Structure 1
């Protein structure tokens, strides 16, 4: 009968990591003058975070240092400790097998070595003066040998921490600045600056860079967000300055002598116009951007709510580009939006009576915004009967319970959340309607230039 012979059975595994740890242990010539085991342990702990050493291994080394004495770290000595694995297990609150795994991990990290007795047991004896007479067990010399290495790593890591903290403070400041500019653009109804997209990008960058320690990557990200913030600030400032100049010019032109025939007097009426008055041929003659529905009739409560929340044609188009894509080809105004709402009502089976009732109660701008919100939810599968839904909105508006401005800001938040999920998945955050609208706009502009 043939028996298999395993010469390594029952012995400690010896590999490249164990050989490297033994070399470090043999190279130990004592700690520098004025240094003790506490200095070595402190240097190791400070460097451990930058060496990706697991906390469980750090705790193991800390417990092992409890059995060593300053005499063990002199030039003619070797720091050896000999606690049994079951005792270490009680100290660490682990199982014996887990302690064995931690010891193997510490050897692989070149932190400890082993000095085995002939029978494989740990043990040792100290002289009356505290020096080790003989000992077999766990050797801590590699940590002493690597003392200067640990100090250098800890110092370099601290410098990197300071630099990373400074970069993250800059990133936070840039994100907050972008948010402030986006709010200013919203309050001032500034369009065409891409403020919302810049804010979403800055917020995403702040989240993605939260745990990054690559200084070059973090620096590039911070500089890009800061530059984009400066560009956005320039756009918003230029738009506000241009608007201020136009307002000043308009105020100057409003001053006219008495009795001039061209002076137009505004009139009011208690009879609201019908939707057909908005979509008549006279509307087209006035021009897509010059007509203002607000000048036709007094504002309803719903229209006042829209104005209070900054919901204008540009805002509605940015939230529902799939429905309002055609508005981007020319100058935008409430007249075009009302006409579009009538078309959407016809296309989505909303009865004309429901549309006229919405115009009577909410005003033409409020009715148009309500139809667009209704159709947006209908196409998203949130509404089954758009006509009934619009009548319900009219009923709430009649009671003063309709908050249409909040509805559109909710649609805006949903759109931004969807765009962020798309960006995280590596896709284009813009909707199909938005992409098509921009492509068509570029096509029209190129045709005009040619």
Structure 2
């Protein structure tokens, strides 16, 4: 007599049409088909979001696969029948209720098929030769049948992850380039208008740049980030064109003035001073490479400040490695934020030069959370004058916000 293959679950568990469909798929398995069980498991792990299973459920599937004695899944002996106690031990001590819930999710996702015995126990009955005649437990046949599907899903997820990484890298590079080119344009007084066209000044360029950056969501898919990357790339090209055009015009005017000087200096009667001397005290030496400014007294470590306010680094020409670089970069950022000279002087008087610069870096980091950077700095100045403000809590809040963003990303 041929043994009857169980179709319905034991006890109060209900049978759904999805379960019937999964069982029908399992029946299409070719006996000669061979699948590497850990290879298909890795594909399922990669595509878990597409398949609809959690990491804890995958831990249970990992434990189930460990009860299959062979690495290859093939033939008819694809039913594993561990007890809940054994399965819980291999699933890192998972609680029985949690184990049952994740087993049900694996069944619902079509990764395994439940083959329950008449009394709900899992076991195998052997014939006289010692071969397994019938087994009751969990059928791994769907893994063999759907192996190509899982591998295709894993490849799609991997390709999407690669594309997302590339677009994020593109955004990062564009942000760095634009910020540093804007800083160079301001320091070198490069005009932003050409033939009466273009933005009025570098503040407007910076406002346009920040408007694009602030639209970047904390967690986003490639389709959302790609248009932003395109906008940043276009803006980077435009800013670079401004700088290159200015360099060409400077070179042209420099060549013309050099020609004029050559004509003027061709007079043999003129006195040419080849080298000018500057009076200096005897024994005085010129310091070619002054040492970097040390950490100001009463301030916080520079590494902590950059951890709390990483956006300030985008505006540094060669990075920020000491306090001199930090102060120079905040001097570039301050007018971009719209902080007036009077507000800056009051902040320096109330907080000190370094603390005021740290406050500017923190205001830049807060971005759209602050409507008016100048007004916000004046409010901090008022609190500092009343001994009601300290820069430390602001830095710790920014560091905590970045850590939370990393966890949710």
Normalised by the shorter chain, which TM-score bucket? 0.5 to 0.7
Alpha-carbon separation, structure 1, partners of 2:84 and 2:345: 71
Task: Give the structure with the higher percent helix.
Answer: 1
Give the aligned CA root-mean-square deviation in angstroms: 4.3
Give the direction of change, closer, same or farther, for the CA distance of 1:94–1:71 in structure 2 (3 Å limit): closer
Where in structure 2 are there 5+ consecutive unaligned residues? 1-8, 192-200, 265-323, 377-409
Give the direction of change, closer, same or farther, for the CA distance of 1:420–1:129 in structure 2 (3 Å limit): farther
Give the direction of change, closer, same or farther, for the CA distance of 1:61–1:126 in structure 2 (3 Å limit): farther
How far is the alpha carbon of 1:113 from its aligned partner?
Answer: 1.5
Alpha-carbon separation, structure 2, partners of 1:128 and 1:200: 78
How far is the alpha carbon of 1:224 from its aligned partner?
Answer: 1.5
Give the direction of change, closer, same or farther, for the CA distance of 1:105–1:123 in structure 2 (3 Å limit): same
* Structure 2 contact 45–58 (Cα < 8 Å) conserved: yes
- The aligned residue for residue 180 of structure 1 is 180
- The aligned residue for residue 217 of structure 2 is 208
Q: Please give the per-residue CA displacement for 1:349-407, whole angstroms capped at 9, x wherever unaligned.
A: xxxxxxxxxxxxxxxxxxxx4x44355x5xxxxxxxxxxx96x89xxxxxxxx6x5x56
* Structure 1 contact 178–202 (Cα < 8 Å) conserved: no
TM-score normalized with structure 2 length: 0.58
- The aligned residue for residue 116 of structure 1 is 116
Give the direction of change, closer, same or farther, for the CA distance of 1:315–1:177 in structure 2 (3 Å limit): closer
Q: Please give the per-residue CA displacement for 1:189-224, whole angstroms capped at 9, x wherever unaligned.
A: 45712454455456656x636x53x33333222211
Instruction: Indicate whether 1:83 and 2:90 are aligned.
Output: no
Alpha-carbon separation, structure 1, partners of 2:22 and 2:41: 17
Alpha-carbon separation, structure 2, partners of 1:373 and 1:119: 81
Instruction: Indicate whether 1:413 and 2:384 are aligned.
Output: no
Q: Please give the per-residue CA displacement for 1:414-434, whole angstroms capped at 9, x wherever unaligned.
A: 442343335xxxxx788899x
- The aligned residue for residue 153 of structure 2 is 153
Instruction: Indicate whether 1:23 and 2:37 are aligned.
Output: no
* Structure 1 contact 82–138 (Cα < 8 Å) conserved: yes
Alpha-carbon separation, structure 2, partners of 1:164 and 1:24: 34
Q: How does 1:32-431 map to 2 (within 5 A)?
A: 32=33, 34-48=34-48, 50-70=50-70, 73-75=73-75, 77=76, 79-92=78-91, 93-126=93-126, 132-190=132-190, 192-194=201-203, 195-197=205-207, 200=210, 204=214, 208=217, 211-212=219-220, 214-238=221-245, 309=328, 318-320=336-338, 369=341, 371-373=342-344, 404=353, 406=354, 409-410=357-358, 412-421=360-369
SS in 1 for 2:31: coil
Where in structure 1 are there 5+ consecutive unaligned residues? 1-7, 256-304, 325-368, 378-388, 394-401, 423-427, 434-450
Alpha-carbon separation, structure 2, partners of 1:316 and 1:22: 67
How far is the alpha carbon of 1:315 from its aligned partner?
Answer: 7.4
Give the direction of change, closer, same or farther, for the CA distance of 1:21–1:420 in structure 2 (3 Å limit): same
Give the direction of change, closer, same or farther, for the CA distance of 1:130–1:238 in structure 2 (3 Å limit): farther
Alpha-carbon separation, structure 2, partners of 1:138 and 1:310: 64
Structure scoring higher RCO (CA < 8 A, sep ≥ 6) equals 2
How far is the alpha carbon of 1:60 from its aligned partner?
Answer: 1.0
- The aligned residue for residue 301 of structure 2 is none
Instruction: Indicate whether 1:14 and 2:15 are aligned.
Output: yes
Give the direction of change, closer, same or farther, for the CA distance of 1:133–1:94 in structure 2 (3 Å limit): same
Instruction: Say which one has the larger Rg.
Output: 1
Which has the higher mean CA deviation after the structures are superposed, 82-91 or 167-176?
167-176
Alpha-carbon separation, structure 2, partners of 1:79 and 1:65: 10
SS in 2 for 1:234: helix
Give the direction of change, closer, same or farther, for the CA distance of 1:237–1:193 in structure 2 (3 Å limit): farther
* Structure 2 contact 214–367 (Cα < 8 Å) conserved: no
* Structure 2 contact 10–120 (Cα < 8 Å) conserved: no
- The aligned residue for residue 277 of structure 1 is none
Q: Please give the per-residue CA displacement for 1:426-448, whole angstroms capped at 9, x wherever unaligned.
A: xx788899xxxxxxxxxxxxxxx
